[in-house]
Structure 1
Amino acid sequence: MTGFTTERLGWRPWLEPLTEDELTDAHHEALVDRARAASPYFRLLARDPDVLHARTKTDQDIFYNPDGGLPRAERELAATATSRHNGCVFCASVHARFAGHYSKRPGDVRRLLDEGVDARQDARWRAIIDAAVALASTPSTLGPEHLAALRAAGLDDLAISDLVHAGAFFGWANRLMLSLGEPTHEPTQEEK
């Protein structure tokens, strides 16, 4: 599959995930949300319930914690930019939809997907995208100039911390997803 999109995609694992019937109470607890049992990705990660539980709680705290910091739209923007940079079509599609929805700027998000991480953006989004991409690079190239740009764009310490968490989490999550399977044009059951 090629091309970045905001369409709902499916994901096909290269390893056999657990079936929904094989999931125990411990697996469901690790999923945090029982609806995730429909996802082959989460059923594959459920093979190690302790790690899945920690991963899911971390993800939820980064993206759903309303206690100050970076607005949800820009946390999603950081995840989208990281995913675009890393080539994770599936994650980019999910987080681009959220970034466009919460920011009410779907055209700017679309440009990021279509033209890449260097696409024209306003100063604040440029600083966020540049910092997320620098953090996702291997080795990381995040430096004082990125922090200065973020501060000039109005981000305080808590907002910068949220950006670092979102970018770092997706640097890891993209690599995990890319090593375990591939996106498909068929939406998974939980996305229908």
Structure 2
Amino acid sequence: MTDTVNHPEIDNRPNAFTQSEIGWTPWLTPLEESELTERHWAGLVDASRSKSPYFMLLARDPEILEARTKTDKDIFYNTRAGLPRADRELSAAAASRSNGCIFCASVHSRFASHHSKRTADVQRLLDEGVEADLGSRRWNAVAEVSAALTATPSRFGPAEIARLREEGFDDLEIADAIHGAAFFNWANRLMLSLGEPTPAAA
């Protein structure tokens, strides 16, 4: 059985969207590195993820974590075709901004800025929300469609696809925009239900 973690009051808990690095702490007890078996290491996929309390908590179900991580990597790192990495990260940042996940928004807005060099446009998304003008029709379409999918997935359909087609997206690019938003629509809810953001580690 997983124990509940008792945390003291967190000083300066992040309460605004930011591109700065912040932390995250779980409400349940993650595994310790000394507890990891070969099965757990396989589930982590990347050994470096053993330093993350989030992934060490998810490692309690290593087979699901392995599938989750490989899906994540294929959506965001397999850029041989489809959307460039910056646009994929924008879809994740827009979903996270819409869902109110401060931690995920910080991570993926930082990646979107890094890969696009459009830090001010990304910051506008964080400051003003998914309705903000992000400096190009293409990025506005990614944010709008990601927010629509996040709000009510079952209502996502032809109108959103047409919106992306208007900006010249091909089938693979449309799939990438959907996958980035859909994955983080789920991942935000998981992270929001398992813990909370904290100030960056000193």
User: Please, what TM-score do these two structures have when normalized by structure 1?
Assistant: 0.94
Report the equivalent of 2:143. Answer: 129
Give SS of 1:81's match: helix
Paired AA for residue 149 in structure 2: L
Mapped pair 1:13 → 2:26: yes
Residues 50-107 of structure 1: per-residue CA shift (max 9 Å, x gap): 0000000000000000221111100000000000000000000000000011011010
Partner of 1:162: 176
- Corresponding residue number in structure 2 for 1:79: 92
CA distance, structure 2, for counterparts of residue 149 and residue 138 of structure 1: 17
- Deviation of 1:25 (Å): 1.4
Q: Gaps (5+ residues) in structure 1?
A: none
Cα separation, 2, equivalents of 1:60 and 1:79: 13
Deviation at 1:162, TM superposition (A): 0.7
Distance in 2, matches of 1:21 and 1:176, equals 25
**Which consecutive residues of structure 2, in runs of 5 or more, have no partner in the other structure?**
1-13
Question: Are the aligned partners of 1:134 and 1:140 in contact in 2 as well (CA < 8 Å)?
Answer: no
Identical aligned residues as a percent: 61
Partner in structure 2 of residue 91 of structure 1: 104
Letter in 2 for 1:75: R
Q: Of the candidates 92, 100, 103, which is equivalent to residue 116 of structure 2? A: 103
In the alignment, what sits opposite 1:175? 189
- Larger gyration radius, structure 1 or structure 2: 2
- Shift, 1:140, TM fit: 4.1
Alpha-carbon distance between aligned partners in 2 of 1:141 and 1:80, rounded to the nearest angstrom: 21
Alignment of 1:140-159 (within 5 A): 140-159=154-173
Query: RMSD of the TM alignment (CA)?
Result: 1.2
Q: Corresponding residue for 1:45?
A: 58
Q: Deviations over 1:6-31 (max 9, x none)?
A: 11111110000001111111111111
Scaled by the length of structure 2, the TM-score of the pair is: 0.90
Could you say which structure has the greater relative contact order, defined with CA pairs below 8 angstroms and 6 or more residues apart?
1
